[in-house]
Amino acid sequence: MSAPRVLIVGAGGFVGPYLAREFIAAGYRVDGADLHPSPALPEGVAFHALDLLDATSVRELLAACEPDIVVNLAGFSSVGLSWREPRTAFAVNVDGALDLLEAVRLCDKQPRLLLVGSSEEYAAADHALSEEDPLDAQSPYGLSKLTQERLAGMWRDHYGVQAVCVRAFNHTGPGQTDRFVLPSFARQAARIALGLDEPVIRVGNIGVRRDFSHVEDVVRAYRLIAERGDCSKIYNVGSGRADPLAAHLQTLIGMTGKDVRVEVDPARVRKEDNPLILCDNSRLRGELGWEPRKSVDDALRELYEGFLRTGEASR
Amino acid sequence: MSAPRVLIVGAGGFVGPYLAREFIAAGYRVDGADLHPSPALPEGVAFHALDLLDATSVRELLAACEPDIVVNLAGFSSVGLSWREPRTAFAVNVDGALDLLEAVRLCDKQPRLLLVGSSEEYAAADHALSEEDPLDAQSPYGLSKLTQERLAGMWRDHYGVQAVCVRAFNHTGPGQTDRFVLPSFARQAARIALGLDEPVIRVGNIGVRRDFSHVEDVVRAYRLIAERGDCSKIYNVGSGRADPLAAHLQTLIGMTGKDVRVEVDPARVRKEDNPLILCDNSRLRGELGWEPRKSVDDALRELYEGFLRTGEASR
């Protein structure tokens, strides 16, 4: 029997190389598509240049690859930027999803399709969010992900497309850009440790509590859900624990061994910012046997050491 | 004091000329924008060629017109077609709304903005739908309108944009294309009365009950809501009465004075079709003093006589 095939769309981003390694380790033949090749993609991934907004190319790629599973990682991922470029957020997250739903529908042998949504789809709440909690996106980003999820439901109900959706909570690890908060903290800490900067870290609202996973745990969840998740359900992907950003900052400051001052930079404080975003991952644990193998502290250490080692800190 | 100004975007469609006449009668100076000029636009409307998806042009037009009110009628309006061209539905209904929200936000003197949503945003229900009833669009069209409405709420909450949203129920009147059900019935009836066709009318599911208004009542509601509606609320626009399509068909058959056979055409039967879509218009009546002045029978007679008179029936 030949190996199962997975096509990862948006393979060149932060998560793509991790997901490719996850599927390779599970015995898959992996195709990866993105606008441009990424040096981070592991050996053995067949790369395909693809503009997800070119619907014809998307259909042709699926016909050529004949995947058993398609995962869409090609997302517009910044809440803040979605206020400044809302049309781009909707183009990537909604039109892109539509291209994939249509391409899957038109396949002779329809693959399963995993679409990645976000905890930003939920209404604000003071408790761990389960998949049944009310949805009410607070940003164009969150709304674009909610719209993607609703479209997946329509294509499933109307056409029988096997699309399964996740709502991913925060995740991080080496390779994530320092436009995101923990890599930003880790890079600042590494530069201080290396003596490149004064011992001052600039932060936004570090009182908020977020549910951070290590990206390796997240991609394992994605594989399990893509393989065996129930398409009529949504799956939260998160650790089930939410600490204040301040705690992660203190962990990183501890790694520097220096006396570091923390300064609030008004430009980094979001206008709207939920005090708590926490994942109830009972479904993922219960149905698919997933549990986290790494902690956010592991991710922080890897990020910090990566910035120390690779020279990223001095770029 | 100079006359108030309204800019109608999508002025060249079915509803635009009616809305233009409504505002002219109320003393407004009317600017109308669309891709192409429409011969149906009344005298006195200043026409502007505009591609709503060209954000820069939208901003420039608003800066040039300095309207007090902007109404967006440029919508992708077909539920059925939205399954075949979902990306186009989202481009027109979501990207177009974003262009207007952004253009309004950037105006020196911000106009009020009326965005037209749809009864298709509601979840199926066996009762008259009030604005508080659950939303759950069943088609890409309905979802695109729901997304537009949520974006309007965000731009209001985040930027203070004065955007007010309506959910319009079915409406008809002379000028509506016979891709819609009542003009289709009326045109077929007129052709039979003129002896151009055999006395057979082909229909879809005529058991469903829909809330039809005369378009003249709808545009009066739009003007009142644009002028005085509370931006923090949604306004249903509908007659409050839902008859089976079969009743309207019988009315039209009665006008022909002939013995007409009704045949079900499977191609016209929608896969999903709510048995009832009925409007609770209490808010519109109570807050703005609106009530319908015409009946759906008036609209049917005007449609039928129009098809008889203008030669449309024989095109």
Residue B189: its H or E element: helix B181-193
Structure tokens at A128: 């761990």
Which chain B residues touch A139 with a CB distance below 8 Å? Answer: 154
Q: If you ran DSSP here, which 8-state letter would residue A79 be given?
A: H
Indicate whether A194 pLDDT > 90: yes
| Ramachandran assignment for A304, one of left (phi > 0), alpha (psi -120 to 50 degrees), beta (any other) | alpha
The verdict on a CB contact (< 8 Å) between B86 and A98 is yes
Per-residue pLDDT tens over the stretch B45-77: 999 999 999 999 999 999 999 999 999 999 999
Distance (Å) from the C-alpha of residue B109 to the closest C-alpha of chain A?
Answer: 21
State the pLDDT at residue B315. Answer: 47
Of B98, B138, B147, the CB nearest to A147: B147
The minimal CB distance from B87 to the residues A95, A138, A158 is found for A95
Q: Where are the beta strands (DSSP E) in B91-233?
A: 112-118, 163-168, 171-172, 200-203, 209-210, 213-214
Residue type, A212: F
Res. A4: pLDDT tops 80: yes
Helix axes B140-159, B96-105, angle to 10 degrees: 10
Q: How far apart are CA B241 and CA B235, in angstroms?
A: 16
* pLDDT at residue A311, rounded to an integer: 62
pLDDT 10s digits, A61-72: 999 999 999 999
Contact assignment for B154 to A147 by CB distance below 8 Å: no
Interface residues of chain A, partner chain B, Cβ below 8 Å: 55, 83, 86-87, 90-91, 94-95, 98-99, 102, 137-140, 143, 147, 150-151, 154, 158, 271-272
pLDDT, residue B272, reads 66
To which H or E segment does residue A301 belong? helix A296-310
Q: Take residue A211 and report the two structure tokens written for it.
A: 């549910």
Query: Which residues, including other chains, have CB under 8 Å from residue A311's CB and lie 6 or more apart?
Result: none
What chain B holds in terms of domains, given with CATH numbers, is 5-168 (3.40.50.720), 174-211+241-278+294-314 (3.90.25.10)
B243-298, pLDDT tens digit by residue?
999 999 999 999 999 999 999 988 877 766 789 999 999 999 999 999 999 999 99
The per-residue pLDDT for B271 is: 66
ipTM confidence score:
0.91
